[in-house]
A and B are shown apart, each in its own frame.
Chain A
Amino acid sequence: MNPTATSIKLTNCAKTFADGTQALKPLNLTVKAGETIVLLGPSGCGKTTLLRIIAGLEATDQGGEIYFNQQNMTSIAIEKRNIGMVFQSYALFPNMSVAQNIVYGLKIRKLKPQAIKQRLDEMLEMMQIEALAHRRIDQLSGGQRQRVALARAIAVRPNLLLLDEPLTALDASLRDRLRSEISELLQKLGITSIYVTHDQSEAMALADRIVVMDEGRIVQIGSPYDIYHRPKNEFVANFVGNVNQHPHVFNTDYLTLFRPEDAEIVEPSKGEFEAKIMSVLFLGDKSRLTLDCGFKKPIYVDTTLRQDFKTGMTISIYVEPERLIRLKTTDNSSAAVKES
């Protein structure tokens, strides 16, 4: 871990906009030094607002407080917070070259030319963009812009790195590659980082802890493993992956769910219920079956069995009891159920 890493504490932070809409309900959040936190949620859940409050681009409502380490930063302007920020559109300065973009924060900090040069070379090498140093911004591809934006943000050795959906503007294959690069980078740097995304796979791959948000509230905080396997309510269960309602376990107090990959296709004698295959999506490494078991909603099952499933076949399904997700139904009344 980076010895200079900063811990973050938010207490009672809320945001009401001028038109009266409350984007963020009062919330508390602690981020440990060196930790990578991902704020995950659908658009309009308040995750970007929360990030902007931490950055200092928005002020929290009266009563909210923000601490970096033990220092109260609530009324400190963004330019004095020593953060690094990567924007969704990268916000690179079009009037400057790649190198000038990267050293912008260093020049503002009035570092000596020698130190600036050294830091620039270090950043160019780290992000593997040495060849681009003198290019203009409009001569860069999306992935290259992304690297420059990251280099610029970390060049100033920030206390805190904030990333606002940095991969959204890229195509899928590039997104996957940069995702693992960012993950490695964050590990290596050990900077406290807060990453905003609506993409659950990005959140899983990057986060030490995921903060799931919905309608301006924090719904659940936990490790990716916890969030996936022990979701607190149906909204979280649905948002971080696909989930089925178990057709045969009925209880008015509990909702019993299971994930598509936790269902086993077994011999009829061992099955809990039978279902008819409505469609088969063969993905190579696995098949996704859409099943009808006389229930309103279809059931999705992922299987790695080497069997050529056909529409219309009837199969038997078994889910191990410890793999079932049980949720108190009262928790779900307020949570929006996302159709997946």
Chain B
Amino acid sequence: MRNKWLFRAQLIFTLLVCSFLIVPVILSALAGITQNFFLGIKSGITLHWLGEVWQLYSGTIYLSLLIAIWCLIATLAIGVPAAYVLAKQNGKLARFIEEIIVLPIAIPGLAIALALIINYGGFRDFRTSWGFILVGHILYTLPFMLRSVLAVLSSTNFHELEESAASLGASFWQRFFTIILPNAKSGILAGALMVVTLSIGEFNLTWMLHTPETKTLPVGLADSYASMRLEVASAYTLIFFVMIIPLLIAMQKLSQKTNKV
């Protein structure tokens, strides 16, 4: 009997915490499609605000996607081979390099951005292009790709797999494409989703690195919160959710799948 009451109390507490987190999200999403937020939902539902956001900020959405894709390409091209090499080396130097690459996780985004501006801000064309933001994003997301691939590689005895492929006559590139990549697939996929999600949502760094010509979605969001009607800002947030939530769900699904194997 007592257990039952305890269970109920815990359930209620959990639901309360969840609603504390979720209700604002729902309200915010609703605000984005309400005629007038102060009058409430009875004022009518509209796509007007979404249309307005699209008109004002579609550029930021495209730019965010563009940067996310290039960021993904770059972290794949750098992170996967780097993880492979680091997994192969056991020496102190390899661990040191790994730590260095992972460092941006620990450093505040603002500090990285400041360092980038101090060092490379002088190159005007670079400073004013979205490439400048891209570099920041790559620095920030690379550790996640690297860690993710490294974890998979260290959990399989890929070293021996590669040796046995070599004994069967496979050259380095044949081994890389037929053995290493397919067996690191789950790590690469998880890393890729993480990179895209982080890049789309990144604000700290980007806020410092952007110019009026190179605004990403989260920077645009901050801008709209500061200067627009609440409904526009909320509609904008809704678009952000629609972009980011499928990625988060895919990430969750993927990690469940890899845990099962």
B166 touches A78 (CB 8 A): yes
From A55, A84, A87, A108, contact of B170 by CB (8 A) = A108
- A–B pairs, 17, beta carbons within 8 Å: A77-B166, A78-B163, A83-B167, A84-B167, A85-B164, A91-B164, A93-B164, A94-B161, A95-B179, A95-B182, A95-B185, A104-B178, A105-B168, A108-B170, A108-B174, A153-B167, A162-B167
From B163, B183, B185, contact of A87 by CB (8 A) = B163
A57 interfacial by beta-carbon distance below 8 Å: yes
Within A99-140, which residues are at the interface with B (CB < 8 Å)? Answer: 104-105, 108-109, 138
B171 touches A79 (CB 8 A): yes
A91 touches B169 (CB 8 A): no
Within A245-266, which residues are at the interface with B (CB < 8 Å)? Answer: none
Work out how many contacts link A and B, with CB atoms closer than 8 A: 63
Q: Which residues of B contact A (CB under 8 A)?
A: 156-157, 160-161, 163-171, 174, 178-179, 182-183, 185, 261
Contacts of A80 in B (CB 8 A): 169
Apart from A87-B163, A95-B179, what are 20 other A-B pairs with CB-CB below 8 Å? A57-B163, A77-B166, A79-B170, A83-B167, A84-B167, A84-B168, A85-B163, A85-B164, A85-B167, A87-B164, A91-B164, A93-B165, A93-B179, A95-B185, A104-B178, A105-B169, A108-B174, A109-B169, A152-B168, A153-B167
Nearest neighbor of B180 in chain A, beta-carbon distance:
A95
A187 interfacial by beta-carbon distance below 8 Å: no
Tell me, in angstroms, the Cα distance from A243 to B118 when the chains sit together: 77
B161 touches A91 (CB 8 A): yes
Contacts of A84 in B (CB 8 A): 167-168
A78 touches B167 (CB 8 A): yes
Tell me, in angstroms, the Cα distance from A105 to B170 when the chains sit together: 7
Contacts of B163 in A (CB 8 A): 57, 78, 85, 87, 91
From B164, B166, B167, B183, contact of A95 by CB (8 A) = B183
B169 touches A108 (CB 8 A): yes
From B160, B166, B171, contact of A89 by CB (8 A) = B160
Contacts of B183 in A (CB 8 A): 93-95
Nearest neighbor of B172 in chain A, beta-carbon distance:
A79
From B160, B161, B168, contact of A108 by CB (8 A) = B168
B169 touches A156 (CB 8 A): yes
Q: Which residues of A contact B (CB under 8 A)?
A: 55, 57, 77-80, 82-85, 87, 89, 91-95, 104-105, 108-109, 138, 152-153, 156, 162
Contact flag A82-B169 (CB < 8 Å), given A57-B163, A94-B183, A95-B182: yes
Contacts of A57 in B (CB 8 A): 163, 166-167
Contacts of B182 in A (CB 8 A): 95
B156 touches A94 (CB 8 A): yes
Minimum Cβ distance to chain A for residue B25 (Å): 39
Nearest neighbor of A149 in chain B, beta-carbon distance:
B164
CB-CB nearest 6 A-B residue pairs: A105-B168, A91-B164, A85-B167, A95-B182, A91-B160, A108-B169
Contacts of B165 in A (CB 8 A): 93, 104
Contacts of A108 in B (CB 8 A): 168-170, 174
Tell me, in angstroms, the Cα distance from A281 to B157 when the chains sit together: 42
Contacts of B174 in A (CB 8 A): 108
B169 touches A79 (CB 8 A): yes
Minimum Cβ distance to chain A for residue B94 (Å): 14
Tell me, in angstroms, the Cα distance from A85 to B156 when the chains sit together: 19
